[in-house]
Structure 1
Amino acid sequence: MTPASDGRVEALYTAPSKGKPMVSHESVSVRDGGLVGDRYYRGSGYYSQTDGCQVTLVDDAVLSDAHREFGVDISEGRHRRNVVVRGIDPTDLLDATFQLGGATLRGTRLRPPCAYLAELVGDDEVVDALRERRGGICARVVSPGEVHVGDDIRVTEANPREVGRQIAARLGGTDADAGDETK
């Protein structure tokens, strides 16, 4: 099944500097390197030289689940992710190219929580709350543009492995058969 293309941008944040609260925005400029105003865009993030994570996305449902299941409040930017989405699981965007408002991005990898996040929110349980593919993803900017709260997220090029699984399923194979080159 192709990832749903009916997701939307729920919230936008930038981190001006280490340890400072994230700043909420109604719109942001996405440029090569990330979100204008974010410390990672400026190259001053702790992992800037090694990480390559230009834009981070997290699911709004995960933030609600973290509060309900673990009692951890990581709303309003305390999650330390740039884009909060609704209606689409960010992991469906891994290895896919997608429109995020007026910008085009490509999902590159999972973004697990770090010990620094636990320190900032003052609760070690945040790491457990965001474990198992729930911490969001990293994305690389393919083409710049403006993004606004409420903008749609539309997959323009699906993850090729997912497409292979769909074809295998239609041909009567199993998910395990897709990508297994020995068959």
Structure 2
Amino acid sequence: MAGVLLGIARHARSRAPMELVDHVEVTVEGGIHGDFRGAMRGKPYKRQVTLIERGDWAAAMAEVGHTIGWEERRANLLVDGFDLPQTAGVRVRIGAEVVLEITRECDPCERMEALAEGLRAAMTPDWRGGACAMVISGGRIAVGDEIRMEEA
């Protein structure tokens, strides 16, 4: 089942504000162009790109009674109509070229609690905080691109 890429965000350095963009290059070496996490070294680096489901963010917001932009989660990609795989090693394709491999759950950190009391706990169940991934195949992605499971 395919979904859609609703948003792309990046930050140039740790704790920098998130920048929303409508398209971006993604590379194996650097992850999301302009995002500091993608270029971090270490083999294998398991947090090049982070993804979150729109519905999971909305559920967490409803639980804490706030309306905060998804980019404050500090995830790179917002998807809709697609259940992110909850298994390391599963691959997803975004658009025509980009393939990401899910590496692990993206655990919510203490920064979520600074946004809204109870948000960290609201994001904990069922991978609601999103998924971390590494880039397998690079290319250009844009808001509106299809996201789907990659055929094995």
TM-score normalised by structure 1 residue count: 0.73
Q: Tell me the CA shift for residue 118 of structure 1.
A: 2.6
Q: Distance in 1 between matches of 2:53 and 2:70?
A: 13
Q: Distance in 1 between matches of 2:87 and 2:27?
A: 19
Task: Point out the structure with the larger strand share.
Answer: 2
Partner residue in 2 for 1:126:
119
Matched, 1:21 2:17: yes
Q: Tell me the CA shift for residue 76 of structure 1.
A: 4.2
| Matched length | 148
Identity between Structure 1 and Structure 2 (%): 30
Bigger radius of gyration: 1
Q: Tell me the CA shift for residue 108 of structure 1.
A: 1.3
Do 2:92 and 2:147's aligned partners in 1 also have CA atoms closer than 8 Å?
A: yes
Partner residue in 1 for 2:145:
151
1:62 is paired with a residue whose SS is helix
Return the structure number with greater relative CO, CA threshold 8 A, min gap 6: 2
* CA RMSD, Structure 1 to Structure 2 (Å): 2.0
TM-score normalised by structure 2 residue count: 0.87
Partner residue in 1 for 2:104:
109
Q: What runs of 5+ residues in structure 2 fail to find an aligned partner?
A: none
Q: Distance in 1 between matches of 2:39 and 2:88?
A: 24
Q: Distance in 1 between matches of 2:36 and 2:117?
A: 24
Q: Tell me the CA shift for residue 142 of structure 1.
A: 0.6
Q: Distance in 2 between matches of 1:85 and 1:110?
A: 15
Q: Distance in 2 between matches of 1:42 and 1:107?
A: 17
Do 1:72 and 1:125's aligned partners in 2 also have CA atoms closer than 8 Å?
A: no
Do 1:57 and 1:81's aligned partners in 2 also have CA atoms closer than 8 Å?
A: yes
Do 2:38 and 2:47's aligned partners in 1 also have CA atoms closer than 8 Å?
A: no
